[in-house]
Amino acid sequence: MISVTKILFTFIFISLLAITLYAQDSFEEQFNYAKKLYEEENYFDAVTEFKRLLFFDGSNKYSFECNYLMGLSYKYGRKFSDALLHFSIADVQAHTTEEDFACRIEIIKINILRRTTYKALALLDSLAIDPKFKNKSDEINYWRGWAYIFSDDWQKAALTFSEIKSSHQLAVLCDSINNDLYNPQLAKYLSIVPGAGQFYTGEYVSGLISIGWNVLWGYLTINAFIEDRILDGVLIGSLLWWRFYSGNIQNAEKFAIEKNLELTNSALHYLQDKYNGRKP
């Protein structure tokens, strides 16, 4: 026959075990609640609940997950400095190489979005030489390509994406953008013949105006010399003709830069709205 003491001990043991399990659940529940808010894109409240959990959870059990998801919440709220802070904390708290890598990539993505691409590239370089991540070269190249896109270096972006796969969708796109871009230096040198640089960039009216001004001041300068009005010739030539001639060269270069900006902006809009792959 089982003694009363044994029954009592068994009862107490089971009760305490249940309480223990419930106690573990209260933190887990809080984490799940915060995560649910995050998944519902209620980022402000999600951050509050993650902060609450971190404040009371002395064991730091959820430190990585909370900081990582807070980083993402802040990122989606365009609070990049806060996002960086929490990704950095999450990186310190990472338990596995995968988590460590995920945090570092998020930090890189924030730097790409903030256009501190030199920093993103430096961080990518440090990842590339780290033996822990030697099997992640495609992933590293993928984000390196994005860093080049945001630093407006479409040629390097195309080359980097093609290292993953020669027919990579982004490699093809970047290559096509790079081919469409005007060469500001070429526009400048073509303008040695007034208006030619503007014609190269498709600005025909501006090219014609440039030709007109240069013909006018050129004629007046040459005419002044022919009529022996040397001072007139020198002054018109140096201060007016030269002014319009050099203006024509600067103008052609400016057009090429502006056209390139239009092209790259439309490419970025395409990437933002239509590209379905991973984005920073």
Partner 1 sequence: MRKLLATLFLIPIIVLPQSTSFDFRLPKNIKKFADHLFCEGDYLRAVEEYQSIQNILQNDTINFKIMFSYSNLGLYQISNNSLQCIPGTSKFKCSADYLYLVNKFREDPKGLRVFHDMPLPPEIVERRQKLINISYFYDAEFNFDKNYILSPFNDEIDRQTVSLLYDLKTDPPYKSPALAGILSAVIPGSGKMYVGEWGDGITSLLLTGLFAFLAYDNFNADHTTRAWIFTGIGAFFYAGNIYGSIASAQIFNAKIDFDFSNGLKLFLEQRNYFLPDYDFCN
Q: Decide: is 30 part of the binding site for partner 1 (CB under 8 A).
A: yes
Nearer to partner 1 by C-beta: 59 or 167?
59
Q: Is 162 in the site for partner 1 (CB under 8 A)?
A: no
Does 2 bind partner 1 (CB under 8 A)? Our answer is no
**Does the footprint of partner 1 cover residue 14 (CB under 8 A)?**
no
Q: Is 13 in the site for partner 1 (CB under 8 A)?
A: yes
In the bound complex, what is the minimum distance in angstroms from residue 35's beta carbon to partner 1? Answer: 15
* Minimum distance, C-beta of residue 106 to partner 1, in the bound complex (Å): 21
Scanning 16-24, 133-141, 260-268, 272-280 for contacts with partner 1 by CB under 8 A, the matching segment is 16-24
> Does the protein bind partner 1 through residue 234 (CB under 8 A)?
no
State the burial class of residue 166 (Cβ atoms within 10 Å of its Cβ: 0-12, 13-18, 19+): exposed
The residue among 47 and 124 lying less far from partner 1, judged by its C-beta, is 47
Site for partner 1 in 188-227 (CB under 8 A): 220
> For partner 1, how many residues bind (rule: CB under 8 A)?
29
- Closest contact distance (angstroms) between CB of 16 and partner 1 is 5
C-alpha 267/C-alpha 261 separation (Å) is: 10
Which of 229, 269, 278, 279 touches partner 1 (CB under 8 A)?
229
Could you give the CA distance from residue 210 to residue 195 in angstroms, rounded to a whole number?
5
Task: Give the C-alpha separation, 137 to 142, whole Å.
Answer: 8
CB 20, min distance to partner 1, A: 5
Of 7, 11, 24, 270, the residue at the interface with partner 1 (CB under 8 A) is 24
Q: Which is nearer to partner 1, 22 or 270 (CB)?
A: 22
**Binds partner 1 by CB under 8 A, chosen from 22, 76, 204, 270:** 22
The sign of the dihedral angle between the CA atoms of 210, 212, 213, 218 is positive
Whichever of 13 and 270 has its CB closer to partner 1, that residue is 13
Min dist CB 21 to partner 1, Å, is 9
Residues that bind partner 1 (CB under 8 A): 5, 9, 12-13, 16-17, 19-20, 22-24, 26-27, 30, 47-48, 51-53, 55-56, 59, 220, 229, 231-232, 235-236, 239
